[in-house]
Amino acid sequence: MAALELKTQGNEALAAGHYSQAPSRSTGRTMRVLYSNRAMAHIKAESYGLAISDAEAAIRIDPTYIKAYYRRGSANFALGKYRLALRDFKAVCKLRPSDRDARTKLKECEKAVKQLAFASAIESSDDQCVSATVDPSQMVVEDAYDGPRLGDDGVMTDEFVEGMLERFRDQRLVHKKYVLQILLGAKALLQAEGSLVDLKIPETDADGDADKAHYTVCGDVHGQFYDLLHIFEINGLPSAANPYVFNGDFVDRGSFSVEVVTSLFALKLRHPGGVHLNRGNHETKNMTKIYGFEGEVRHKYDATVLALFHECFCFLPLAACIESKVFVTHGGLSSDDGVVLDDVRAIDRDREPPDAGLMCDLLWSDPQANEGRSPSKRGVGLSFGPDVTRSFLAKNDLRLVIRSHEVRDSGYELEHGGDLITVFSAPNYCDAMGNKGAFVHLHRDLDPKFTTFDAVPHPPVRPMAYASSPFGL
């Protein structure tokens, strides 16, 4: 009866969307159904590493338990480990040949594996860069187009930026020619930057006040364009006197990712010193294929635009350092104790991230309350404790780490005794989490000041509307 009660409590927590509660309510019995239920809760919470671990525990108890293969396969697919997911759905289809859903997922895995092999073959060729073959000046903009226009030189103007933001607000796109110009210009700017960008707080703010000069650090935006506009309404548009660091995960989940990242790139072109863009784990091919951005770009533009976005993503810096004292990166710290800032500067970032190593850690790792390091709940990167943060700060003569990568109910959280801050700027994430968004101000004294905000209404387009995966991730 106790096991049945735990199962019921776990299922109730899942049904209510309380994913963090479901695992604890499903523990206490080494039974296949409880491990499988807990794996499902971990998948909903995006803790794919823990989901895989629990699914494997269920499989050890009963190698014929189909749900456990489902869970492990779904978690591996979410991590872009398509061959491992393929193995699991082959097992399901063998155990239950008539399962139509399993057949659908098996075909999706086979498709993903083939696409991965094809992409690897293409990338090994010498003519892989779409940017070398695209010439927007040869494109004709139809007379019927009534949106903002750029000259053939691609020089960004305030007039274009303002017109583009308003056009996006009205759910209208800018012409493909101008998107290509923005992407080509953004790639050139990003390519000229380092893997670690050193930043200085401006002498004065936009009103000429030296005491109010600051940097704004935003966390994940995740395609929530109308919330990005709200940030600008609260905090002003970026400029050299009002500089921002956007700390990765501009795309995926939210269904206005094209509008978000195109706007950020255009603002980067208009104010190169006022917009700094760190790479997140979602600015990668594996993630965008699963979580909506790829489908959104193909729907709103085409494969050429998608390929050029990915070229830009590969040149996004991996970290920024403000006043040589505040280290800003999307995920977290390294699995190695000896990492110094020059190691970050030395990373060759023009690639898809590897599954391990410093580049992977910067994009994927998370803090933990306990000392030391542990395997990541996500299945990629690691979890690192307060001692790791203290050591990194001391070794590099830093005061603070700011990272993003995780939802926080208040939009931010001080962790590791105040040595580390998590900031997340997508309120009511996925229209479901009920969290606030936040951003951080760093004035000259480098003491962080927080602004929180609620989600604003957006057009009735659901999150993940352009994701084609049958996995429901």
Which active-site residues does the annotation give? 282
| Residue with token string 């691609």 | 154
| Residue with token string 């364009």 | 225
Neighbours of 211 (CB within 10 A): 9
Sort strands 382-384 and 366-367 into parallel, antiparallel or unpaired. parallel
Give CA separation, 93 vs 58, 89, 310, in Å. 18, 6, 35
CA–CA separation, 266 vs 197, rounded Å? 19
CA–CA separation, 86 vs 105, rounded Å? 8
Contact present, 453 and 235 (Cβ < 8 Å): no
Residue 18, burial from CB neighbour count under 10 angstroms (0-12, 13-18, 19+): middle
Residue 173 is given by DSSP the state P
CA–CA separation, 249 vs 331, rounded Å? 10
Residue 445 is given by DSSP the state T
Q: Can you read off the two tokens belonging to residue 456? A: 């604003």
CA–CA separation, 297 vs 250, rounded Å? 14
CA–CA separation, 410 vs 221, rounded Å? 15
Paired with 448 in beta bridges are: 442
Residue 64 is given by DSSP the state T
Q: Could you please report the per-residue DSSP string of 355-413? A: SSSHHHHHHH-EE-SSSSEEE-TTSSSEEE-HHHHHHHHHHTT-SEEEE-SS--TTSEE
